[in-house]
Amino acid sequence: MKFRLILFLSILANLSCAQNPSSKAITSVTQNELSEVILLDVRTPEEYSQGHLENALNINWFDADFDKQVEKIDKDETIYVYCKVGGRSAKAQQKLLTLGYKNVVNLDGGYDAWRSKNNK
């Protein structure tokens, strides 16, 4: 009985690890890598207008119709999502996964980290 419980718990742990969303430090992403994915900026339009990553699509996380707006993105595409520091993008990543998007990567550190690295 004890063996079965340990086996069950180890299988459960492996499954939960496999389902964890992926994330990557925004400072480690290359421009070449960004050109091969859908880049989604979930900040407000005001934040976006003050600076954003090249070719980023802006869909405001706070918009009531966020779900509807992201429908224009193919669910099989790889999506890199970022915000100011990482909180909204993590929530947006979870939402996209629940909507059936298959490969969504949260860019940890957000635009602030990217700007700090690239303004040195």
Residue of 29, 38, 56, 83 with catalytic role = 83
Place of tokens 């070719």: 55
**Residues contacting 39, CB < 8 A, separation 6+:** 53, 55, 56, 57, 79, 80, 82
CA distance 60 to 47: 10
Place of tokens 């790889």: 78
Query: Are the C-beta atoms of 74 and 99 separated by less than 8 Å?
Result: no
| 17 flagged as catalytic | no
CA distance 61 to 59: 6
Q: Which residues have a catalytic role annotated?
A: 83
